[in-house]
Amino acid sequence: MTFDPPLQPGDTISNRQLTELFKCSSQGGMRRAHATESLVLIADHTLSLYENRWIDGRFHFSGIGTRGDQQLGFSQNKTLAESPDNPVSVFLFEVFESGRYIFTGRVVLAEAPYTASHPDIEGRCRSVWVFPLRLIGEERSPRIAEELIQKNRSRNERLARKLSDKELVKRAANIKSRAGCRRATINVYEKNVYVAELARRKANGSCQLCEQPAPFRDRHGRAFLETHHITRISEGGEDTIDNTVALCPNCHAKMHALNLKSDCRRLKKKAARNVYQHTLFGEVIFC
């Protein structure tokens, strides 16, 4: 009888809970549990050794073995490779934050395993077995918060900056040439269109940070400027005219990348002048 854990895709549990539930080891990326006749796969995205990712609805999972060429007949690589013909149920978890295991669901081998070249734990190029997996039935992968994905990407970017050119060349050889794609959730803020338009008009065609004219005009002939909240909405900033400015794409990217205090102070002064008044004759003027 197939083991049916009381979990729904997207549920997050601790390593201790996972161990107790599946009655498996508390370590490793492939954990065989004889008591529940299951194989638990852990795709830990906080580790840079493997390239586990979704491509066209398939999760490409790297086998175990951190040194030298991996062997298909070794340990749980063999269990997973033979899973279409053995009674073992396979379950996938993903980790984006240490200690937090997100349940993806029950999976099966979708295609035959294939090999790819990747550096091992000591940086030597070696052959790795990769298992294309799919969720059973009509299930789809759970949506992962974009913040978690971006946090993981930023962590990997910091690691990449520390590598030598030689190490980068080795790690640039991805499992697949195509980019990975996964379902994610994002917080969409419904910003006030009137505040945004007023900020653009106050800018009068020039960036409010570098004070240079907009780099181009849009298809309607208007100077292209992007609105920016000085104190970000996600950090409690208000969607008001005194917190909104209009920037060229370059300065907008700079604010999101650096968010320098000196630039923030300068923009706050500019935004403070976005206050407007009506004259007796109905004309709008900016103070």
| pLDDT tens per residue, range 56-68 | 889 999 999 888 8
Residue 230: per-residue pLDDT? 96
Mean pLDDT of 174-193: 66
Report whether pLDDT(275) > 70.
Answer: no
Given a contact cutoff of 8 angstroms between Cβ atoms, the answer to whether 63 and 12 are in contact is: no
Cβ–Cβ < 8 Å for 80, 109: yes
Contacts of 285 (CB under 8 A, 6+ apart): 276, 277, 279
Structural domains of the chain ordered from first start: 12-185 (2.30.280.10), 193-286 (1.10.30)
Q: Is residue 256 predicted with pLDDT exceeding 60?
A: yes
Interval 80-136: pLDDT, tens = 999 999 999 999 999 999 999 999 999 999 999 999 887 777 777 788 999 999 999
The answer, yes or no, to whether residue 282 has pLDDT greater than 80, is no
Given pLDDT bands bounded at 50, 70 and 90, which one contains residue 174?
very low
Output the CA torsion 46→48→50→53 (10° steps).
Answer: 60
Amino acid at 75: S
- Judge residue 141's burial from the number of C-beta atoms within 10 Å of its C-beta, 0-12 exposed, 13-18 middle, 19 or more buried: buried
Statement: the pTM of the whole predicted model exceeds 0.85: no
Tell me the mean pLDDT in the region 271-281. Answer: 58
User: When comparing pLDDT for 66 and 177, which is higher?
Assistant: 66
- Tens digits of per-residue pLDDT, 11-27? 999 999 999 999 999 99
* pLDDT at residue 138 in the model: 65
Which pLDDT score is estimated for 123? 72
**Residues in Cβ contact with 21 at an 8 Å cutoff, skipping those fewer than 6 apart:** 5, 6, 7, 13
188 pLDDT tier (thresholds 50, 70, 90): low
The continuous run of DSSP H or E covering 276 comes out as strand 276-278
